[in-house]
Amino acid sequence: MADPHPPALAPVVSAEMLRERGLRACLGAERVVLELGFGRAELLLELAELFPERVYLGVEVSRKRVLKAGRRAERRELGNVFMIHAPAEYVLERVLPAGVVDEAWVNCPDPWPKKRHWRRRLVQAPLVELLARALAPGALLHIATDHEGYRDWIADVLAKQSAFLNLHAPAAFVGTRPERRETAYEEEWRAEGRTMAYFDYRRAP
């Protein structure tokens, strides 16, 4: 169970402070559940509320969304959820120590559909390598997308790595939503008739 966190640090935490002082000092725990690109933070906050014994860390590049999610966490009096305003790659490479993530979520990242923008996609081989470093052996990785082109891209990226075990093999993904709440984007896109793809992997020992 996480130790009580210092109120002055919650819920928005500086990436540099976390890097310098460490998880225990800043979050009151040495292991976290991670969400990269939490958007409107519905899932992040609900998971934190449902599982108070775990500590949740959300990473988001939109400062406005980080501050808004932080205010929502305070209103709900959630003491086990924290947010960082920073690129996911930076947090994985420079902030988090190896093996401290027990579970990671990447829900509906921007698909950057135009080919000239594909280099901006979050799920790339280097990011998967950074996730492999951050996740503890046996930790779970969940990725979801509604975009067909990005779905195939993610499947190809994950098929070429060896650090994670596909929980849906031989299928690359499933279309059935896992037992968790939908994000606002998922709700909107399902209403539009889009098909979701869910990837679930386990960090190899």
The question of whether 152 is a catalytic residue gets the answer no
Identity of the residue numbered 43 = L
Token pair in block for residue 55: 């500590």
Q: Determine the Cα angle at 204 with ends 201 and 205, to 5°.
A: 150
Q: How many C-beta atoms surround the C-beta of residue 46 within 10 A?
A: 16
Cα-based distances in Å from 83 to 41, 108, 194? 10, 18, 29
Q: Which of 102, 110, 152, 200 is catalytic?
A: 110
| Pick from 192, 182, 165: nearest CA to 46 | 182
* Catalytically annotated residues: 110
